[in-house]
Amino acid sequence: MIPLHSRLESVENEYVQAMAKLEEHQFALGGGWEYDRGSFDRFLDEGHKVWLRLPFRVLSGNLDGETDDNNARIRFGQPFVLKHLYREGTDPDAMTPAIGGTLNQFQDPENPDAEIEAKWIDKARQVLEHVEPLFP
């Protein structure tokens, strides 16, 4: 994980407005959202292994990533780049198919915090330069 400096840090906005602006730049609500926090995530590579994450906290209102009924006001945190490397092919730790399919559907990352090449950090900064002006 590589933290990035951005003028988005501490910027407050309505969640729905922020989401609408960021969707136009290929961001989506990250899957690990909670009612009090979340992130807008954008992949940087074709394999969807390198991501720019814009974390946020809910200051007030309701955040529910599974409905359009959101009135949350959010504050952005410090953006960062992360890289997840997943095993290619069969998981060597998988259980037998009959049991494994019901208990262990997803592989753990081979390296959930892999080294991030400079080109991805540069690309993340370029993306930030495009979205920062959306939040005056």
Q: What is the pLDDT of residue 90?
A: 55
The better pLDDT of the pair 63, 112 is held by 63
Q: Is the pLDDT of residue 22 over 80?
A: yes
Phi, psi of 46 (to 5 degrees): -65, -30
Mean pLDDT value of segment 45-61 = 95
Q: What is the pTM of this model?
A: 0.80
Question: How many whole angstroms separate alpha carbon 10 and alpha carbon 101?
Answer: 43
Of 37-51, 68-82, 105-119, give the lowest mean pLDDT range: 105-119
For residue 134, how far is the Cα from the chain centroid? 18
